Structure 1
Amino acid sequence: MTNKDLKLKAIQIRMDLLKMIHRAKTGHTGGSLSNTDILTVLYYKIMNIDPSRPKWEDRDRFIASKGHSVESLWCILADRGFFPKEELETFSQFGTRLIGHPNNKVPGIEMNTGALGHGLSISVGMALAAKRDGKGYRVFCLMGDGEQAEGSVWEAAMAGAHYKLDNLVALIDRNRLQISGTTEEVMGLDPLDEKWSAFGWNVVSLDGNSVDSLVEALEAVPTHAGKPTLILANTVKGKGVSFAENVPHWHHHVPNDAELERALDELSAQLEAYQQEGQVRL
């Protein structure tokens, strides 16, 4: 996909996840909107995966450590063909596989996650296994910024640098909001880039809602042999929906009928604006 294709796809995924959350009457809306660009670039451009072979031994691995923001991931996995798109209609319903956190009964999900602070440790283990088995696959781990208050994150960070895991890429969805307020009010994190650098990681800070910046950075890793990479993706919580952006209430807010209609109108306008820039493949 070209970068323009990716931008269009991210808008479509935002529309899908909003409709899914509205239908289910539950979901983590703000964080899913903020991480959509990250996941779109990973799943449509960067990662070496094959939806027809979800257990392919040489596939790149993805761990959603911030598992509560699973809605964007479900929509992308369905769109990529890991499972039928119709199954999205069962999200958070009784008996569904598509629960409110990643569930490894679903093709494309490596581990059940959502208890914050565990995903990077899992990812370090996977990346270390690849090194010791002489495999070329990479491991990508998406964390939340509120999650950085978990001590286990920093134990894993030490291990990743110690074992020189340059096949490991961690990404932080740095939207600066968590369920009870701003990250700096709840547990100050800044200077977050300097902390990760001090732990021995190659740190790249960028606009996490810029497809162009994400593609450039992720195509370049590993930029330092023998070092894991940390992408500090500065994002906007609720990205793409003007009245949800940077609003803490939208962490777990379900749009009502009027809000959904307004949000879809805004996203449709964005989609149309991109399409008018030139003919693109959707």
Structure 2
Amino acid sequence: MEKCLDVGDAQIAFTDEGEGDAVLLLHGSFSAGWLVPAGRRLVEDGHRVLNVHRAGYGQSKDLTRGVSVAAHAQHAVRVTEAADLRHAHVVGHSSGASVALQLAHARPDLVRSLVLLEAAFPYAPDEPKNPAMARAVEAAREGDYEHAFDLFLGGVSGPDFRKVFVRELGEDDLQEAVASSQYFFTAEGAAFAAWSFGSAEAATVTAPVLLVVGGEGERLSTPHRARSAQLASWLPHSETRVLPGVSHAMPLEDPALIAGTVEEFVARHNG
């Protein structure tokens, strides 16, 4: 059942389903649905799953037009408090993985383990330059947000990402994601670019971390392999896993693979 919290700078919706070890899901940009199919499998396999609609997406509202990464992390804290959780395994995808990192830094007591599916930030100095990203930003500047949406997600996920999206979430959710592209390009992008997270912050993360990288990223020349490698060099308790056959859209490309990857890591860190 969907619940809603008024947290001052935002109204945060979240779902809380199932029983067992708690898993907190923090989705990526454009859609609150990225982790829903994998979350459904986690519930079926005996986990309690909380899926947070981050401010600006799904049923949540950003009342400041560009909340900070620290604020997103604090919203997640408020959700755990509302759910009466002392700790949870945290799974983040893309920009949601960046929020998960901030959460683990700010509140290490809450995070039992951390699974990061291709964190969007921080940038790595040696990452490849994907020309689709620059074209997406230019299209957004010209007000063509749907084209910017296609360029951005096509650049990191390949040309079939719309088909994958509709297969798992439906046409209505795809159109909602397209509509959210204006928020992403005009508000969220700047807020995340202003986030400061480096080796000093990473050293405070005490939870074990799984860095998940899509095997198709190298073919698509996406930056996430380099970003994950940089995080691996900073995080004291991390390991990296490359999943073959999937790209940045991995939670929708293969929800069963993502759920299984999360479950295996969570099972090793339940103490």
TM over 0.5: no
Higher strand fraction: Structure 1 or Structure 2? 2
TM-score when normalising by structure 2: 0.31
